């Protein structure tokens, strides 16, 4: 809930301030709350809503060879050997496992079940008809993992008026490798007069049983003779698992969701689940505001300004403010900078080296690895190579020496580094 204090009011006090409400910030707040730490989380509506809801752990390494790994743990071990500065190299494997399982079980308690196989990555079908490698998939996508593996007869159903999702495009992209795939189109019940329909509206509508009954009636002619039916991700907002199961029971066939283009309903579900459940664990959420100033001069803690009207005093802080999209990093004509503390950013020595010649170079662009260098306790380093502050930590995509998008490790790295930062604070605090 938003507060209405002015900065002249006494500051809100906490042990730990988490800056940023993306995957790293939400996970850090969760871990801290679970360890009994009095925590405030500040963040604007996060980039999490652009995410597909998939939980990547580690999929591709080395990038130049585009080597795809079935076992994400073996991939992480190899990565840590090859790139000792990568943030994963500072986290014990047992810690990464514990962190992930804590997040999965938290999400399950919020009604968002995830399907994963402990030692193996999954492949999912994308809205472009390509395959994406990932680790954990919302349970509403699980049947798609299974039919994709076995290339079973399957129908993709799109919805008239929904932009960016075409069943015919998906089928055309897959026709050689998956001959048993075909396409159909429906009109979403109650939206027949609209030229454009939106995934979020349909997801909210399907929370209502009557609407599911109508959708099942419209879908029924399209489910015969196939092992599963794939649809854009619209199966509910708050109870997606139950919505999917209810539709499956009505139709007598497994259904699966395919992530749509952003903003994507499974990303919204994650945001909603965290924002609903974290306060129940005691986290104080200040959403829709940014931390605008930080005073690190006090050796025992920090004083922060939040938005126009709030002050927060904290013993420690986790900076989980992301990269350029969330404005944790920004770039002028010459350099990349960290936005809040003006921390040193590890980056190529000249702008000419930010990017390679071709956009799709499989090695990725050096700029994508720019970010904060940290010590083994996830504390950002100053210019002298020493931690800037003994209780300032960093987590997530803002960290240097990683390219989460190409390596397919976005959520996994955010969650694991958030866990490591919180654990480091607990050790430091004694
Ligand atoms: C389009 C898209 C698709 C994705 N798909 C996947 C996927 O399929 N699988 C996967 O595992 N991951 C995926 N991700 C990545 C994942 O969602 C996270 O973006 C990533 O893990 C990094 O998370 P983060 O918390 O470090 O940063 P972000 O998600 O960028 O969050 C940082 C947050 O901090 C906020 N912030 C910045 N400065 C301040 C400040 N001063 N005060 C308060 N708040 C501040 C920003 O507004 C932002 O909300 C995707 C991301 C995007 C954008």
For the chain, the structural domain boundaries read: 12-108+270-429, 127-258
Ligand 1 within 6 A of 47 CB?
yes
Residue 5 pLDDT more than 60? no
Question: How far apart, in whole angstroms, are the C-alpha atoms of residue 22 and residue 354?
Answer: 25
Atom of ligand 1 nearest to the CA of 27: 25
Which residues, other chains included, contact 1 with Cβ-Cβ below 8 Å and sequence gap of 6+?
A: 279, 285
Buried b (16+ CB within 10 A) or exposed e, 104-140: bebbeebbbbbbbeeeebbbbbbbebeebbbbbbbbb
pTM of the model: 0.95
CA of 324 relative to ligand 1 center, distance in Å: 10
CA of 236 relative to ligand 1 center, distance in Å: 23
pLDDT of residue 17: 98
Running DSSP on this structure, what letter comes out for residue 388?
S
- Integer CA distances (angstroms), 71 to 60, 68, 87, 122, in order: 11, 9, 19, 10
Architecture (CATH level 2) of domain 127-258: 3-Layer(aba) Sandwich (3.40)
Ligand 1 within 6 A of 87 CB?
no
φ, ψ of residue 311 in degrees (nearest 5)? -130, 140
Mean pLDDT over 95-112 rounds to 97
Mean pLDDT over 372-395 rounds to 95
Residue 187 pLDDT more than 50? yes
pLDDT tens digits, residue range 57-100? 999 999 989 999 999 999 999 999 999 999 999 999 999 999 99
Q: Hey, whose CA ends up nearest to atom 2 of ligand 1? A: 51
CA of 389 relative to ligand 1 center, distance in Å: 24
Q: Hey, whose CA ends up nearest to atom 20 of ligand 1? A: 410
User: Helix, strand, coil proportions of the chain in percent (round to 5)?
Assistant: 35, 20, 45
Q: Say if residues 258 and 231 touch (Cβ distance below 8 Å).
A: yes
Q: Hey, whose CA ends up nearest to atom 5 of ligand 1? A: 51
Ligand 1 within 6 A of 53 CB?
no
The proportion of the chain whose per-residue pLDDT surpasses 70, expressed as a percent, equals 97
Ligand 1 within 6 A of 402 CB?
no
Strand pairing report for 12-19 and 310-319: parallel
Buried b (16+ CB within 10 A) or exposed e, 277-294: bbeeeebbbbeebbbeeb
Q: CATH code for 12-108+270-429?
A: 3.50.50.60
Task: Answer yes or no: same fold for 12-108+270-429 and 127-258.
Answer: no
pLDDT of residue 193: 82
Which range among 3-7, 304-308, 386-390 shows the weakest confidence by mean pLDDT? 3-7
pLDDT of residue 4: 46
Ligand 1 within 6 A of 138 CB?
no
Residue 104 pLDDT class (50, 70, 90 cuts) = very high
Closest CA to 259 of 418, 119, 123, 125: 125
Q: Hey, whose CA ends up nearest to atom 26 of ligand 1? A: 396
Q: Say if residues 369 and 347 touch (Cβ distance below 8 Å).
A: no
CA of 328 relative to ligand 1 center, distance in Å: 10
* Mutation probe of ligand 1 site: the residue of 21, 23, 341 with most atoms within 8 A of C-beta: 23
Which residues, other chains included, contact 15 with Cβ-Cβ below 8 Å and sequence gap of 6+?
A: 32, 37, 38, 39, 314, 315, 316, 429
Q: Hey, whose CA ends up nearest to atom 6 of ligand 1? A: 51
Closest CA to 222 of 156, 145, 165: 156
* Mutation probe of ligand 1 site: the residue of 51, 416, 419 with most atoms within 8 A of C-beta: 51
Running DSSP on this structure, what letter comes out for residue 379?
P
pLDDT of residue 49: 73
Ligand 1 within 6 A of 240 CB?
no
């Amino acid at each position: 809930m938003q507060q209405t204090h002015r900065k002249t009011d006494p500051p809100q006090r906490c042990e730990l301030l988490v800056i940023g409400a993306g995957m790293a910030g939400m996970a850090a707040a969760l871990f801290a709350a679970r360890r009994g730490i009095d925590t405030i989380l500040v963040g604007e509506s996060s980039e999490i809503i652009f995410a597909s809801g998939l939980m990547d752990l580690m999929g591709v390494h080395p990038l130049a060879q585009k080597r795809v790994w079935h076992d994400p743990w073996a991939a992480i071990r190899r990565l840590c050997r090859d790139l000792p500065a990568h943030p994963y190299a500072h986290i014990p494997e047992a810690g990464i496992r514990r962190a992930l399982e804590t997040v999965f079980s938290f999400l399950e308690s919020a009604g968002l079940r995830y399907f994963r196989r402990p030692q193996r990555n999954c492949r999912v079908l994308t809205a472009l008809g390509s395959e994406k490698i990932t680790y954990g998939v919302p349970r509403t996508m699980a049947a798609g993992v299974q039919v994709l593996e076995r290339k079973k007869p399957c129908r993709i159903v799109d919805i008239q008026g929904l932009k960016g999702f075409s069943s015919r495009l998906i089928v055309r992209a897959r026709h050689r490798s998956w001959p048993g795939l075909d396409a159909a189109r429906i009109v979403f019940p109650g939206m027949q007069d609209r030229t454009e329909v939106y995934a979020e509206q349909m997801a909210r509508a399907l929370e209502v049983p009557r609407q599911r009954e109508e959708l099942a009636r419209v879908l029924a002619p399209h489910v015969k003779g196939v092992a599963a039916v794939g649809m854009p991700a619209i199966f509910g907002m708050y109870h997606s698992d139950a919505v999917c199961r209810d539709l499956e029971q009505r139709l007598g066939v497994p259904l699966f969701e395919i992530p749509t283009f952003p903003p994507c309903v499974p990303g919204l579900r994650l945001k909603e689940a965290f924002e609903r459940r974290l306060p129940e664990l005691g986290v104080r959420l200040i959403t829709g505001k940014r931390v605008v100033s930080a005073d690190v001069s006090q050796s025992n803690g920090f004083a922060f300004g939040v938005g126009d009207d709030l002050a927060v005093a904290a013993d420690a802080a986790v900076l989980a403010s992301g990269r350029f999209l969330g404005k944790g990093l920004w770039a002028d004509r010459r350099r990349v900078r960290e936005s809040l503390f003006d921390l040193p950013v590890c980056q190529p020595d000249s702008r000419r080296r930010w990017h390679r010649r071709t956009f799709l170079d499989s090695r990725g662009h050096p700029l994508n690895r720019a970010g904060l260098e940290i010590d083994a306790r996830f504390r950002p380093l100053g210019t002298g190579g020493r931690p800037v502050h003994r209780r300032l930590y960093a987590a997530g995509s803002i960290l240097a020496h990683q390219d989460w998008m190409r390596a397919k490790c976005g959520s996994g790295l955010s969650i694991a580094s958030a866990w490591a930062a919180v654990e480091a604070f607990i050790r430091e605090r004694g």
